[in-house]
Structure 1
Amino acid sequence: MNDLALTNARIVLDDGVLHGTLIARNGVIRLVEEGSTQAPGAIDCEGDYIVPGLVELHTDNLEKHLMPRAGVIWPSLPAVLTHDAQIVAAGITTVFDALSVGDLEEESVRIETLRSTYDAILEGQASGALRADHWIHLRCELAYPRLLEALEPLMDHGSVRLLSLMDHTPGQRQYRDLQQYRKYYSKNHMSWTEDEFADVVKRRTEQQAKYSDLHEKAVLTMSHGRNMILASHDDTDAQQVDHAKRLGVTISEFPTTQEAADAAHGHGLTTVMGAPNVVRGGSHSGNVAALDLARTDRLDMLSSDYVPASLLHGAFMLHSQAGWSMPRAMATVSKNPAKALGFDDRGQLKAGMRADIVRMRTVDGLPIVRNVWVNGQRSF
C-alpha cells in the first residue's frame, strides 16, 4: 500500500479553502476532510497550502535547454530531463511540451531539434525517467514550406493530444506591429537595413500567401479521427476568432487584443494567456495585458510559456491583484486546463482524483513550492 497523509494544511478546493487533512492511497485521493489526523506517517504541513498539481498546456521552456548558448545544440534527452526537473519544481505535474513544427527563420533550433526532441520525450516516458506526466503539443507553423512532411510522422503517437494553428508572418497577429517584430528578432542577433527588412517582410508575406491556407486545410484533414484538441494562436480580431471557431478550435491561445478575447468568450472558446504576462504586468510584444482580461472575465487559463515558475506566481497574482478567490485563481492552472485538454482524473483535490498535489507557502506574497507529488509519488 502506498499511503500519503497531509494534515494541518490549507487545502484549496473548488468552492473554498479547507483547513484539514488529505489522504491518498495508491496514487488516488481517498479523503479530504476538515481537521487534523494522528495517522502514523502523516506529514504536518504547518499551515501551508495544498493545491492541485498544475496542468501546463504550452511551454517553450525546453528550447532553452536544447540551445543553452547561441550555436550550441545540447543532446535532446539530457535537455528533456533538465526541463522536466524545472517543471516539477514549479509545481507542474502534467505538462504539454510545445514542439514547433517549422519556423519562418531559415536556420532554427526548432527545425534542427524537432525529431530528436520528440523521440527523447517518448524515451523518457517509456523509461520512467520523467517525474511529471508529459504530453506533446504540436505547434503548426502554417507558413512553413515543409510543414506537412515534418508533421505527418509525429501525429500517430498517443501522447500527441493538442495541435495549435499558428502564423508568425510579420504584419499580423502577434507581429501586427512590424517594429515589434524587428525588435524581437534583434534579440536573436538579427540586424537588417531598411531595405533588407522590407525584403524580409515581403518574402514572409509571399510565403504566407502560398502556404498558409493550403497547410491549414491539410492539418485539419490530418487531425480528423485522431481525437486531437485544436487551438488557435495569437488571434487579433473577431474575424480570426470566427474563422477558428468554424475550424473546430476549442482553445484560444494568447489573444492579442480585448476584441479577440471578447469574441472567443462569445463563441465559448477557452482562453489561455501567458503567466509571464501577468507577472510582468503586460505583454512583451505590446499586446493586451492578461490582468485586463481577468478583470473583464475573459481569462480561463494560464500557461507558463517560457518561465515554468510563472504559472503558480501568475495564479496567485490573479488572487491578489484581480481580486479573484483562491479557488477561482487556482482553477486557471489546474481544473480549467485539465478540462480543456480532456482529462477528468486530475486538476482537483477530491476523492477519486489522481494524487497530483503541490504543497506551497507564500513568502512576502511570492508562492514557494515546497513539495510535489505526482500520482502519489514524491517528485520534489
Structure 2
Amino acid sequence: MRVEIRGGRILWPDGTIEEGSLAIEGGRIAGPTRATGFSAFHVIDARGLLVLPGIIDLHGDAFERQIMPRPGVEVSLAVALQETDLQMVGNGITTAFHAITYSWEPGLRGGLMTRRLKEAIASQRGRLAADTHVHLRHETFNLDAVDEVAGWLDDGSIRLLAFNDHTPDIHRLIDQPTKLQKYAERAHLSVGDFRALVSRVWARRDEVPATISRLAKAAATARVASASHDDDSPEMRRQFHALGCTICEFPKTETAALAARDLGDPIVLGAPNVMRGGSHTNAIGASTMLARGIGDVLASDYYYPSLLHAAFRLAREGVLPFAKAWDLVSANPAAAAGMTDRGSIRAGARADFVLVDDEQPALPRVAATLVAGRPVFQADRQLAAGF
C-alpha cells in the first residue's frame, strides 16, 4: 500500500522539526515528498500534528492486569492480548516487548502461564497491530527451566532476555506470613505450602551463577539482547557486562547506573517514574538522573500511556530538548534491542509513526498510529478518506 503523510511537523534524525510530507511504500519510508508530487492511494492529513517515530517499549507488563483483572479472576489470553494491543497502539506504541516473568512460582508467573502466553502471542501475531515480541524475565532461581529457556533462545521465540532475582527478597519474608500472603495468593498456594517451596528453592542458591552464565552465552550466540534487572551495585553491573549482558534495566542505585554509563551500557528507566514526577517505591528519580546524563531508554513498566507523557514532560520542564526526550522512547530502545530498521524517520526504515496532537502541551494526545505503513489507530479527527 502506498501512503502519503501530508503536512505534518516531522521530527527528523538530526533533531529538527519541520513541516513536510512523507511517502510510504511497501511498509517502508520512501522519503520526503511534495504534497502535489506523489500519487498515493491513501493520503493522511497531518496538518497541525507532530509526526514522530513510533514508540518502542522494551519492557511492558501491564498486560498482566488484562489477564487477571482481579486476584484469582483470569480471562482468555487471546482477549487479554487483543485488549492490550489496542491500548498500546492507542498510546503510540508500535513495537512492544511483553515482559513475561518466568519464575519458580506457579500461577500468573509460572511455567504453564509462560508457555501459554508465548503460544498466544505467536498465534495472534498476524492479528496484533503492534509489532509484538517476547521479553522473557527469567528468575535466576528458576533452575529447572534453564534448558527450556536455552531452547527458546535458540529457536528465536525470545527477542530480549532479562535476568531477574527477586528470590532473596521473598526469602527474607519467610517468617512473616502476613507479608508472604500476597506472593502465596499469586501462586495459588497456601502460605504454608508457599513457604516450603521458597525453602526448597533457596537451598539450591549455589547453582544459580553457573546457569546465569550459560543463558547469557546462549543469548549472545542467538544474538538476543540481554539485560540485568534491578542492579544494586557497580559490581553487579560489571559482572553482567562481562557476561555480554549489556542492558542495565531499572538500576536500584545511582552507583550502579554510573557504572553502566562508564561501560557504555544502555540504562533503562521507568517512564511512570518520569510521568509521575518520582518513583512509587521511593527509588531513584528518573528525571533527576536524565538531567545529569544518566539514562538512555524509558520503558512503560506497568503503565503503557507513560511513555508518551514522560517524553513530553521531560521536554516541557526543560530536562531535555524534545528530540532527545523522544529518542528515549524510539531511537535508543531500537539501538539497545539491536533493531536497526526502526526508531527514526529516514528513508528505508520501517514506516512506524505516531501522529500527536500537542495543542495542549501538558496533555499530548495520539491522533493516529501507523505500523509498517498501515494505519492501526485513529482518534476522532478525520485524517483520511477510508482510513
Taking structure 1 as the reference length, the TM-score comes to 0.87
Q: Could you tell me which residue of structure 1 aligns to residue 258 of structure 2?
A: 262
Q: Could you tell me which residue of structure 2 aligns to residue 164 of structure 1?
A: 162
Q: Could you tell me which residue of structure 2 aligns to residue 154 of structure 1?
A: 152
Deviations 1:174-230 (A, max 9, x none): x9998xx9999777797xxxxx9xx89x94993573443232133234335211211
How many pairs does the alignment contain? 365
Aligned amino acid, residue 287 of structure 1: A
Deviates most, 225-234 or 263-272: 225-234
1:158 is displaced (CA, Å) by: 2.5
Q: Is the 8 A contact 1:302 1:332 kept in 2?
A: yes
Q: Could you tell me which residue of structure 2 aligns to residue 28 of structure 1?
A: 28
Matched, 1:252 2:248: yes
Matched, 1:299 2:295: yes
Deviations 1:67-93 (A, max 9, x none): 122112222222212111111111111
Q: Could you tell me which residue of structure 1 aligns to residue 132 of structure 2?
A: 134
- Residue correspondence of structure 1 range 2-21 to structure 2 within 5 A: 2-14=1-13, 15-21=15-21
1:112 is displaced (CA, Å) by: 4.0
- Residue correspondence of structure 1 range 147-296 to structure 2 within 5 A: 147-171=145-169, 203=199, 206-207=202-203, 209-296=205-292
Deviations 1:256-297 (A, max 9, x none): 121111110000001110101111112222211110110110
Matched, 1:342 2:338: yes
CA shift in 2, pair 1:292/1:208, >3 Å = farther
- Which whole-Å CA distance do the structure 1 matches of 2:275 and 2:181 have between them? 24
CA shift in 2, pair 1:263/1:96, >3 Å = same
Q: Is the 8 A contact 1:360 1:371 kept in 2?
A: yes
Name stretches of at least 5 consecutive residues in structure 1 with no aligned partner: 191-195
Deviating above 2 A after TM superposition, structure 1's stretches of 4 or more consecutive aligned residues are 35-44, 105-112, 144-147, 149-159, 175-178, 181-190, 202-212, 220-225
CA shift in 2, pair 1:112/1:68, >3 Å = farther
- Which whole-Å CA distance do the structure 2 matches of 1:155 and 1:106 have between them? 22
Aligned amino acid, residue 94 of structure 2: T
Deviations 1:155-179 (A, max 9, x none): 33324221111101345xxx9998x
Q: Is the 8 A contact 1:170 1:205 kept in 2?
A: no
- Which whole-Å CA distance do the structure 2 matches of 1:44 and 1:221 have between them? 48
Q: Is the 8 A contact 1:67 1:109 kept in 2?
A: no
Matched, 1:358 2:351: no
1:6 is displaced (CA, Å) by: 1.8
Q: Could you tell me which residue of structure 2 aligns to residue 42 of structure 1?
A: 43
Q: Could you tell me which residue of structure 2 aligns to residue 193 of structure 1?
A: none
- Residue correspondence of structure 1 range 300-339 to structure 2 within 5 A: 300-339=296-335
Q: Is the 8 A contact 2:217 2:243 kept in 1?
A: no
Q: Is the 8 A contact 1:143 1:207 kept in 2?
A: no
CA shift in 2, pair 1:183/1:37, >3 Å = farther
1:320 is displaced (CA, Å) by: 1.6
Instruction: Report SS of the residue matched to 2:221.
Output: coil
Matched, 1:367 2:368: no
Q: Could you tell me which residue of structure 2 aligns to residue 102 of structure 1?
A: 103
- Which whole-Å CA distance do the structure 1 matches of 2:177 and 2:16 have between them? 46
Deviates most, 239-248 or 321-330: 321-330
1:30 is displaced (CA, Å) by: 1.4
- Which whole-Å CA distance do the structure 2 matches of 1:323 and 1:152 have between them? 41
Q: Could you tell me which residue of structure 1 aligns to residue 124 of structure 2?
A: 124
Q: Is the 8 A contact 2:9 2:49 kept in 1?
A: yes
Instruction: Report SS of the residue matched to 1:135.
Output: strand
Name stretches of at least 5 consecutive residues in structure 2 with no aligned partner: 186-191, 378-387
- Which whole-Å CA distance do the structure 2 matches of 1:331 and 1:177 have between them? 39
Choose which of 370, 374, 377 in structure 1 pairs with 2:374. Answer: 377
Instruction: Report SS of the residue matched to 2:72.
Output: coil
- Which whole-Å CA distance do the structure 2 matches of 1:106 and 1:354 have between them? 39
Aligned amino acid, residue 259 of structure 2: A
Percent of residue pairs bearing the same amino acid type: 33
Instruction: Report SS of the residue matched to 1:308.
Output: coil
Matched, 1:78 2:74: no
1:308 is displaced (CA, Å) by: 0.9
Instruction: Report SS of the residue matched to 1:160.
Output: coil
CA shift in 2, pair 1:177/1:19, >3 Å = farther
CA shift in 2, pair 1:85/1:157, >3 Å = farther
Task: Report the RMSD for the aligned CA atoms in angstroms.
Answer: 3.0
CA shift in 2, pair 1:334/1:289, >3 Å = same
CA shift in 2, pair 1:224/1:346, >3 Å = closer
Q: Is the 8 A contact 2:139 2:164 kept in 1?
A: yes
Q: Is the 8 A contact 2:23 2:38 kept in 1?
A: no
Deviations 1:330-359 (A, max 9, x none): 111111111111111111112111111111
Q: Is the 8 A contact 2:296 2:332 kept in 1?
A: yes
